Structure 1
């Protein structure tokens, strides 16, 4: 017994220092790991931006605490949210006893005549925007009545098809492969790889997922980060939120509206998996310096995604149409992925986009494969399992109908209209309005250079004249995305803009309530981010109230 106790004491004495050293090593590792993360964050964001982010975080939490502790402030916030909800309800939900609501299945199926009549009644009673008058910024990319008939015929032929079953619908599989091939050739990478998706957001999510999994497989990165311009589409933030990826948002150069390359270079670290550039971006229609970004990506062996969702079937035709354009496609060494929305200037049916990669090896990281599922081997190329083959057929039909010459002519007309608007704003509104950056394609954004004139109030007045424009922030501005429908309305737009600027300057209402909620239009004013976030949630809830 005594010898056993002696051995135990000897073990305790010998293991004691080892355990202490182990604890010290673990503690030092933890501290160093945290310090490295802080150093990388500070290097990417800068001390000023980091302090501002911290201040914003503290202010938000203080506001939430104040709302809990101060009844008057809480009531004020609740009143603002309730008022916004009231406005949203009145805007989107039809009222009155005359409105027929279909809240449950009919006892018996209705006839096709009844269904057509009920749809017509809804359009008449509830009303809808007359988009064919050409006063809508983007949103509707109409290829003409003849093309619409072709799309309807494609839907009719393939309405029940599903590319999840290529053996059942081989023609849909063929059309999808040909859509990808045509887009790859259009973006100068015929030997590349790609896939169709449900829209630009899914294309972007797929690209972020692909680069994440590629970086994990080839470089062992488990805490991935991406670097995006402040003007990049919110879909990159959405992808990062879904996929648990850290985002570094880089400022843009005010004059050029391009991402600050020095800040991008400083932000790159061993966890960076991809850079992002736009050609063109949504807020102001400007193009990032893709060549410089791709060079950085190549030097650091990371991905480089070019977002051409909005540029789609405009950017590849700028050069042959005679318009100046900086390099942006796969001819730029270092570009690894490009997203292109076929449902915008490709005039395909809504819900159609293509994500392209430099090679098939990279695309493999996009796939989801479950080889041991009890239902059998499961594999899908993108987020969806079942997909509408009718959309693929419609996209293929649209591309065949338009052809190279059709898209070239479309580019000439649309970009020509955008150049006219930008030129006339610069010439006719000196001292009143200014154009943001140097937009090369179909989007023109403009702000107010007159302190007595609120640009968002100008937007409100334009809304009263029937225009549906997009309000943006940082800086406050309005943009118009031209389509084929907008081209004949260029002179009307400029004339209405003259009137709107005059009214906003000389008889201002002091409101300027054009809200910056993507897809909403105008509802609320400048509210605290936490409150406006709740209003955005109310907006989404409203969409599902019958």
Structure 2
């Protein structure tokens, strides 16, 4: 994959120098008018010179200062714009097409506006407000790769299809083909046969909700169940709860084995009734990184004729390659009898852009109940595969590019590095006094707890050292989701070292009062009325959409 082409030489020879020359000329005229207002003749410069002369008179000091400051600022922006235009590798094709056939003044405006906009956008998007450096591997999960070449590839491919929409496959047949190929590649990864099928979605939550809708509609329309309900482990992703709320289904949470953190199969069996429309298991689950016993759940599905969904949104692009990477797992996919659907996020360990996931079924009948079709709308027959109507063809294309770019061997190599790093962190943490590891992590997540101090205090202190870890509850714990960034030299060692040092500090000098997330999560878990915790979360979401400038509290 080659790098972006730089701007054509004519751009740097003529356009940007012309912009800077114009600004320089304006500054020169200002200085001349300031020194000798009569020296700039209106014959040559018309009203512009008159305005400059007016600004340059001794009676307009404030206007003079403001104008000079403005010109100086724009001159500085032009120089910065030229620099960032090269640094951001602005595609010459874009500028050439945008300026083709335009008069000189419009070309100047377009190029000047574009370069200044790039400077502004760069500063706006990458504001230095975060205290965590994800590029250095200090964030749990969040960014799963960050490779520069991959980023450039996906950005280029997205730009080529930015205006495309899978809702119109007749207009954008290439995007339709790419989505179909992404689904087929994923079905093959999970050992689906020729009848396996699926669709792309905007993320793991939508993939899970689509499976819930498919099984709800099948239960109502085929099996005659009036009040469908699902059985999911306590550790299953909250997307199942969201799906139950949106679809008007009842959700029942199955307890875990307290030692293994896997779902209790005996408890799941007891909770099955005539309204049960789906069973679910995680591969692996998010809180502790543990694989649920998918073979046993599939057996329950076969015995009671209930479809089984495997949520592999987190590890979906690790677990299919673990055998080849030297870390074999028990079967978890369509090889297991009874498994009817699988969700896997391409935007996590598939290293595709955010906003892409896949929901797969072992046969088309399930997918048919996922679809939404209304044949009587005056606007025409309306049919969509997922919740959204219009979707981003750019995301589909970039996802396809990421999968093809890596290929099977690329994913095997990344998987090997990630699992090795995870095992290294697990082993290191098991030898640290004051903390313990939950269950037996089999994929990329290591969850820690403590019987000696408040584990959230450890999380707060890790935050002060630059780490951004996930705080969990029921039971109190924290975890790190290992990504490609954590496989870089020294990152895992730094994590183990920091955990060891901070745990020793907490054991030697336990803090009397809890602050930060230690206080927040401690309080949240102790409130019996969970609606109050929900209202606290509403306040947080409201704050996310606030445009007000926050001020640091002061003590007077």
TM-score by length of 1: 0.76
TM-superposition CA deviations, 1:423-481 (whole Å, max 9, x none): 1122x225x2111111110011111132xx22110111000000000111122111100
Match of 1:221 among 205, 222, 225: 225
Matched, 1:438 2:435: no
Could you tell me which of 166, 179, 184 is aligned with 2:182?
179
Q: Secondary structure at the match of 2:222?
A: helix
Mind listing any 5+ residue stretches in structure 2 that lack a counterpart?
1-108, 548-556
Corresponding residue of 2:322: 318
Q: CA deviation at 1:122?
A: 2.9
Q: Could you report, residue by residue, the CA deviation over 1:134-172 in whole angstroms, capped at 9, with x for unpaired residues?
A: 010001112511111110111110000000000000000
Report the counterpart of residue 468 of structure 2 in structure 1: 468
Contact persistence 2:457–2:517 (CA under 8 A): no
Paired position in structure 2 for 1:424: 428
Partner of 2:543: 542
SS at match of 1:311: coil
Deviations 1:496-522 (A, max 9, x none): 111111222223334555649xxxxx9
The reply on whether 1:212 has 2:216 as its aligned counterpart is yes
Q: Does 1:292 align with 2:289?
A: no
SS at match of 2:135: helix
Query: What does the per-residue CA deviation read over 1:337-371, in whole Å, with 9 as the maximum and x for residues that have no partner?
Result: 10000000000000000000010121100000011
Q: Are positions 1:156 and 2:177 aligned together?
A: no
Whole-angstrom distance in 2 between the partners of 1:153 and 1:511: 51
**CA 1:262–1:543 in 2, change beyond 3 Å: closer, same or farther?**
same
Query: Could you say what secondary structure the match of 2:343 adopts?
Result: strand
Cα distance in 1 for partners of 2:237, 2:542 equals 23
- The aligned counterpart of 1:533 is 534
- 1:101-120 superposed matches below 5 A: 111-120=113-122
Using a 3 Å threshold, how does the CA distance of structure 1 residues 238 and 512 change in structure 2: closer, same or farther? farther
Q: Does 1:384 align with 2:385?
A: no
User: Residues 338-353 of structure 1 correspond to what in structure 2 (within 5 A)?
Assistant: 338-353=342-357
Where 1:292 maps in the other structure, the secondary structure is helix
**Could you list the per-position Cα deviations for residues 216-249 of structure 1 after superposition, in whole angstroms to 9, with x for gaps in the alignment?**
1221011001001010000000000000111111
The CA deviation at 1:524 is 6.2
Tell me, in whole angstroms, the C-alpha distance in 1 between the residues paired with 2:206 and 2:239. Answer: 8
Partner in structure 2 of residue 367 of structure 1: 371
**Aligned residue number for residue 457 of structure 2:** 457
Question: Could you tell me whether the CA contact under 8 Å between 2:204 and 2:357 is conserved in 1?
Answer: yes
Alpha-carbon separation, structure 2, partners of 1:365 and 1:211: 7
Is 2:490 the counterpart of 1:486? no
Q: 1:398 aligns to what?
A: 402
Distance 1:146 1:513 in 2: 41
Are 1:248 and 2:249 an aligned pair? no
Question: Does the 8 Å CA contact 1:456/1:513 hold for their aligned counterparts?
Answer: no
Confirm or deny: 8 A CA contact 1:459 1:512 kept in the other structure. Answer: no
- Tell me the TM-score normalised to structure 2 length: 0.75
Corresponding residue for residue 413 of structure 2 = 409
Which whole-Å CA distance do the structure 1 matches of 2:394 and 2:316 have between them?
21
1:92 matched to which residue of 2? none
Q: Does 1:200 find its partner at 2:204?
A: yes
Tell which deviates more after alignment, 531-540 or 369-378: 531-540
Cα distance in 2, alignment partners of residues 270 and 367 from structure 1: 25
Q: Which has the higher contact order (CA 8 A, sep 6+)?
A: 1
Higher Cα radius of gyration = 2
Residues in 1 aligned to 2:514 and 2:125: alpha-carbon distance in whole angstroms = 30
Q: How many residues align?
A: 430
Structure 1: 5+ residue stretches without partners: 1-107, 517-521
Paired residue secondary structure (1:111): helix
Contact 2:135/2:146 (8 A) holds in 1? no
Judging changes above 3 Å, is the alpha-carbon distance between structure 1 residues 351 and 526 closer, same or farther for their aligned structure 2 residues? same
Partners of 1:124 and 1:243 lie apart in 2 by 38
Once residues 468 and 409 of structure 2 are traced to their aligned partners in structure 1, the CA distance between those partners, rounded to angstroms, is 30
CA distance in 1, matches of 2:261, 2:482: 20
Deviates most, 109-118 or 456-465 = 109-118
